Amino acid sequence: MKKKKIMIFAISGTIALSALFAPIGTRTASAAENSLVEIAKSLIGTPYKWGGTTKSGFDCSGFLNYLFKREKISLPRTAAAMYQRGTPVSRSQLRTGDLVFFKTSRRAPVTHAGMYIGDGKFIHSSSGRGVAINDINDKYYWGKRYVGAKRILK
C-alpha cells in the first residue's frame, strides 16, 4: 500500500512539474487553437456576405478577422495581405490555427483563406456555402488551389 502511494505521488509530481516547466508559448498557443476552433465551429452555417465581418455574414478574411480578434490578434483585412504575415508552414507541418491560402481565381496569387482545424480539414467562409469545413487535400477543388500556409499563433 505504501509503495502504491509513493508511486501515485511520484507520477503526480512528474505531471505537475512538466506542466509547470512546459514552454509558456506552447500552452498559450494550444489554448488559443482550441478556442479558435470552438468559436469557428459554432459559426458553421453562417451565410457568406462579401465584405462581411459579423455573425450576420462573413467573407473569408472577415471570418478569420472575427475569430482572431477573440484572441486579441489583429489580422489584415484581405486574404492576400494575410498571406504576407506570419511564419510559412509546409503542408506536412500544419497545426490547428494555421491560416491556409488558396488561389480561386486568376485575379491574384492569393484569393481565399481559411483556418486549419486538424485531420486535413480547414474551416472558412465560401461564397457557395458560407462558413463550412472542407478537406484541404480535396483533389477536385481545394487541393488543386492550395497556395500555402502561415502560422500566426506562436
CA dihedral 138, 141, 147, 150 (to 10 degrees): -50
Strands 146-151 and 121-126: unpaired
Query: Nearest-CA neighbor of 136 among 101, 86, 89, 104?
Result: 101
The amino acid at residue 7 is M
Indicate the SS3 state at residue 58.
strand
Catalytically annotated residues: 60, 112, 124
